[in-house]
Chain A
Amino acid sequence: MLNALACRGPDSAGVALYGSPQPGRMVVRVTLGEHPDARIPACIHAAVESFGASDFSEVGAYLRFTIAEQSPGAKLNGLIKAIETVSPEVEVVSVGRALEVVKQVGSPANLEATFSVSAFVGSHALGHTRLSTESKVDLSHSQPFWGHGYPDLAIVHNGHITNYHQLRRRYEQRGVRFYTENDSEVVAIYLAECLEQGSGLLGAFEAMMKELDGSFSCLAATASEMGFIKDPFALKPLVFTETDAFVAVATEEVAIRAALPGNYAVSEPQARAARVWTRPA
């Protein structure tokens, strides 16, 4: 699907994949930066020992490992801090029972070449290919964004959040750390906060409609839910289809048709539309 949309923006590409959870474990993905010091992985090993870390592996610029499951909804700030104090280049890209975020600068084809994303087996996934408009092109600024500190939440966003600076100030006053200058990051932080308060994804979307201004076609997922929201003016494209076998949402229908053969209807949701699908237990 992403290859079909790469012409919209090949600056960077990424996916948030939801695999099968390993009982009692959480997957942590850490980017080591552009020119990692060979000693960094060992330092991270030491830093996360107390979290019961194991299964270390390194692909591309990423270190992946698992830790003992943290209590549901728990803030993972201690873990993130322990890892990120190792080096300013190091960043925790995702933590979750099922979630694994993989992103890098370059086109979706490059992403596939480096990480063999198509070989991943899982229940659902979000993908993004980026045309940078207002913030810089690097791994941190690319999407999907993890809901930092909230396990398993990932978002992708097309649009422009016009009250971004106001929201950012509000969160920063509360001590929330922003990793980028990208306005889409605030969507992840906002939804993470709503989910933490127990609203569920649809409730979080409803709150987002009231509090976030500007244009947005946005997808979000957790281990159990996946959904989209469209802004009040329907400024940004988004289409979806729903069959007995799958749900597919994309910026353009061309992406859905390229990936999923068959006879099904596709429609563009109306302004203010929000839909959430729950994964069967």
Chain B
Amino acid sequence: MTQLNAADLSTRELNSRLRDLVARDDAEIHVENPGARHNLAVAMLKSGKIRFRGSVGYYCGGLADGISIEIDGSAGWGLAESMLGGTFRVHGNAGNGAAAAIRGGTVVIEGDAAARLGVSMKGGTVIVAGDCGYMAGFMGQKGVLVVCGNAGDAFADSLYATECYVGGEIKSLGTDAVASEVTDEEAAALESLLAANLAPELRALKPQARRFRKVVAGRKLWNFDKREWKIWREAL
């Protein structure tokens, strides 16, 4: 294991050291004192393991492909944005736009997520142990989005085909989003997904998490039809 002290390095130096170490197949890198700085570990394109011993700022791990990142504190805006593959685990909370536009990989947020979680997902898996905020899942195209706690306003607005599950209350559904029951098969898949990604004590925090609901697209916005102008007026 290699230890780096972020306090001694500029962001560019730190990212370049991380990239070098990962390229040399270093098993695990611990970064001390990240101090919630922005743009840490962006565009890491090899497999490897990085652990931030504190909070990170905006765009941590953006554009990642294959890296595994663990954050002991919280994350700022745009965590793992546009990730292609890899795994992220945030022990604290995540700011706006976490896991936005990811195409693959897994993001686990053990605390709460703020607004615009997992918007425009084109693949991958997002799991939030706590609550999520406004507009989560907006225009999701593929992948799986699981919120164990409560969801904020306009959940899954203009959804395509991301599989969305919410364990708690949904404050309001977005345009064209429809809540439905989970089938036995889906419940079993969800159960094993959560068992694989969340420690039992985290799952126990939200007792209602066992009663998940699935949110799917009503498909009214998928094709434009001018006779349905009323729906569009509301949606746009």
Contact = CB atoms under 8 A, between A and B. Distances in A.
A258 B58 CA distance: 16
A257 interface: yes
Given A252-B36, A253-B76, A270 B115 contact: yes
Contacts of A232: 134, 153
B82 interface: no
Interface string B126-140: 000001011100000
A27 interface: no
Interface in A262-281: 265-271
A239, A267, A270 pick with most chain B CB within 10 angstroms: A270
B68 interface: no
Contacts of B92: 265-267
A254 interface: yes
Given A254-B35, A257-B35, A267-B111, A237 B134 contact: no
A46 to B, nearest CB: 51
A265 B74 contact: yes
A234 interface: yes
B interface, size bucket: 20 to 34
Interface of B: 35-38, 54-55, 57-58, 73-74, 76-77, 92-96, 111-112, 114-116, 131, 133-135, 152-153
Interface residues of A, number: 18
Contacts of B54: 257
B96 A234 contact: yes
A271 to B, nearest CB: 4
Contacts of B112: 267
A234 B37 contact: no
Given A265-B74, A270-B131, 6 more contacts: A232-B153, A252-B38, A254-B57, A257-B55, A265-B73, A270-B115
Nearest to A254: B36
A190 B77 CA distance: 30
A269 B111 CA distance: 12
B73 A266 contact: yes
A268 B38 CA distance: 16
A253 B71 CA distance: 14
A230 B116 CA distance: 15
B185 to A, nearest CB: 33
Contact of A253 (B36, B96, B111, B135): B36
A258 B7 CA distance: 11
A90 interface: no
Contact of B134 (A233, A256, A267): A233
B36 A256 contact: yes
A266 B111 CA distance: 10
Interface string A241-256: 0000000000011101
B73 A234 contact: no
A254 B37 contact: yes
A268 B153 CA distance: 16
26 contacts: A232-B153, A233-B135, A234-B116, A234-B134, A237-B76, A237-B95, A252-B36, A252-B57, A252-B58, A253-B55, A253-B57, A254-B35, A254-B36, A254-B37, A256-B36, A257-B35, A257-B36, A258-B35, A265-B74, A265-B93, A266-B55, A266-B92, A267-B74, A267-B93, A270-B114, A271-B134
A79 B38 CA distance: 47
Nearest to B152: A270
A268 B76 CA distance: 8
B154 to A, nearest CB: 9
A270 to B, nearest CB: 4
A234 B152 CA distance: 11
Contacts of A270: 114-115, 131, 133-134, 152
A233 B37 CA distance: 25
Contacts of A258: 35
B76 A252 contact: yes
Contacts of A253: 36, 55, 57, 74, 76
Nearest to B150: A270
A265 B112 CA distance: 11
Contacts of B77: 237
A62 B115 CA distance: 42
Interface in A207-257: 232-234, 237, 239, 252-254, 256-257
